[in-house]
A = this chain, B = another copy of it.
Amino acid sequence: MLRKHRNEDLIVRRIAHSFPPSRSQTVRQFLSLGIGDDAALFRPKPGHETILTCDWSLEGTHFFREKHPPDSVGWKCLARAVSDIAAMGGAPRCFLLSLALPETHTGRWLSLFLGGLRRASRKFRCALAGGDTTRRNEILINVAVVGEVRSGSALLRSTARPGDFLYVSGRLGEAELGLQIVRRGQGAASKNNLLIRKHLYPEPRLALGQWLVKKGLATALMDLSDGLSSDLSRLCAASAVGARLEKAKIPRIPAPWAAVKHGCDPMQLALHAGDDYELLFAVPPSKAKLIPETFRGLRLTAIGRITRERQLTLLEENGRARQLLPRGWDPFRRTQ
């Protein structure tokens, strides 16, 4: 096979070409220098703090070269990191893309990848500011996102208080079920399937996070990336509290449909499956009545309460309580 010679500068130019300097006045205002120099220059908004976060997206760990459309890999590597901005109640501004890939993937694969990344970049209003590229046998991606939030108003994990109601957005377990369908190789033909879309093209809950900040409704906020049981346990540890969940209330995939069609337990998925990028937040009792049933079409559900006792309890449908252990996604746990 004849391969074209592509050097690093050429790849940087291809990326720059896919992300032409924005004509948007807003972007020009905060991104004073984009890709091409030693570093990028960002002009912070007065009265705001800068939010910083980064996320790995690694072949074999977070996606499969043969199973996941490159367009989705591009979309999702940015969406995952932007979800951390939503989890602080902020607005994304720009990102750095670190990309390592085989020479065989600097053609069509790269184009499709950049296409998905560009769509996500526009959708989330998060401009490409710079990055680093190198050659590697495996496809490795790291995305660092810069966001902003009015000074002092970011919502943290560490500020939930006993008595707060716990809410989640959306329906949990959908993305994992989507992944299972994709792994079975049924993904390409049915991109419009809701579960597959949620797995391939997650939508960070930016509007919801910003609304919670603006209205001052929540005491604590985080996003669900590793599964409810693991992430809630982190929120509780950070806040030095516990939580008591009502199993019946946890929003999940309808049981007969999930079980019959996909042979899985929707409650297990809702409790432990990752990658949903929904928001989990705590609301003081005095403000719970201000939380609507849906926010811009997205369901919001009270699933339990924060407790003083520092453990996670799941109240079964038969009224019995049992301890809930963190069993979500953990790359260092070998017994999954």
Chain A residues close to B by CB (< 8 Å) = 5-11, 32-33, 36-44, 46, 49-56, 58, 61, 84-85, 87-88, 90, 94, 96, 98, 100, 103, 106, 129-136, 140, 142, 144, 146-147, 149, 151, 154, 156-158, 222-223, 234, 238, 330-334
Contacts and interface: CB of A to CB of B under 8 A. Distances in A.
Q: Top 4 nearest A-B pairs by Cβ distance?
A: A39-B53, A38-B87, A44-B44, A144-B144
B54 A144 contact: yes
B52 A96 contact: yes
Contacts of A87: 38-39
Contacts of A158: 36-37
Contacts of A6: 332
B238 A53 contact: no
13 contacts: A5-B333, A39-B88, A39-B147, A40-B52, A41-B52, A44-B49, A55-B98, A56-B134, A58-B100, A58-B134, A58-B140, A61-B136, A103-B334
Nearest to A86: B38
How many copies the complex holds: the figure is 2
A132 B7 contact: no
B56 A51 contact: no
A234 B7 CA distance: 13
Given A8-B331, A41-B154, A61-B134, A32 B49 contact: yes
Contacts of A49: 32, 41-44
A52 B131 CA distance: 9
Contacts of A222: 37-38
Contacts of A7: 330, 332-333
Contacts of A133: 331
A58 B332 contact: no
A33 B130 contact: no
A330 B9 CA distance: 9
B37 A98 contact: no
Contacts of A134: 56, 58, 61, 331
Nearest to A225: B38
A143 B256 CA distance: 46
